Amino acid sequence: MKTTLVRGIALAAAALAMFFVAAQVQAEGYTKQKVVYHINYDDPKAQTGALRNIQNHINAVGKENLDLKVVLHGNGLSLLVTPDSLAELPKFKHGNADQTMSATIDGLRNQGVKFQVCNNTVVGRGVDVQKHLHLVEDGDIVPSGVAELAHLQAQGYMYIKP
């Protein structure tokens, strides 16, 4: 009887605690989030949609509550390839960093979004980072896009593939 009573009290206390946590989250909005978006496709419409998802995410959570990274590898690097670089980069079908896309990317960067570029793709496709990519610096290069995704997930980042 005592054991059943103790279990009942413990369950009631746990339920009450969960209620207060849920009420606090609801009252304060979203809590801090660590998120990684994964882009490895070159379709300009899909990439535009992914950037729109990222902006909507920021709008909902607030940039102060969000640590957001975008990992680009393989064909996804086309998001940052400038159109005038395509003649020198035959392994890319698209150079999607036109004026409109570049302005969107810059706006996201200004809100704290970090774009991380796979060095394996850079080397394998003969990309000159300073010449062919829109505003990518040495600190934006990671050794491997897929390894970076795994590393970030191990650090508690939530994975999103738009």
Residue 125 near residue 90 (C-beta atoms within 8 A): no
Check whether residue 77 and residue 46 sit in a common domain.
Answer: yes
Give phi and psi for 67, each to the nearest 5: -110, 100
Check whether residue 17 and residue 79 sit in a common domain.
Answer: no
Number of structural domains (the chain) is 2
Q: What percent of the chain has pLDDT over 90?
A: 81
Check whether residue 65 and residue 16 sit in a common domain.
Answer: no
The CA–CA distances, whole Å, from 90 to 41, 94, 108, 135 equal 16, 10, 28, 21
Give phi and psi for 40, each to the nearest 5: -135, 30
Q: In terms of pTM, does the model score above 0.75?
A: yes
Residue 117 near residue 72 (C-beta atoms within 8 A): yes
Sorted by sequence, the CB contacts under 8 Å of residue 122 that are 6+ apart come out as 77, 129, 141
pLDDT at 20: 46
Check whether residue 7 and residue 54 sit in a common domain.
Answer: no
Check whether residue 125 and residue 62 sit in a common domain.
Answer: yes
Residue 59 near residue 51 (C-beta atoms within 8 A): no
Does the pLDDT value for residue 86 go beyond 50?
yes
Does the pLDDT value for residue 12 go beyond 80?
no
Domain of 15 in residue numbering reads as 1-29
Sorted by sequence, the CB contacts under 8 Å of residue 84 that are 6+ apart come out as 95
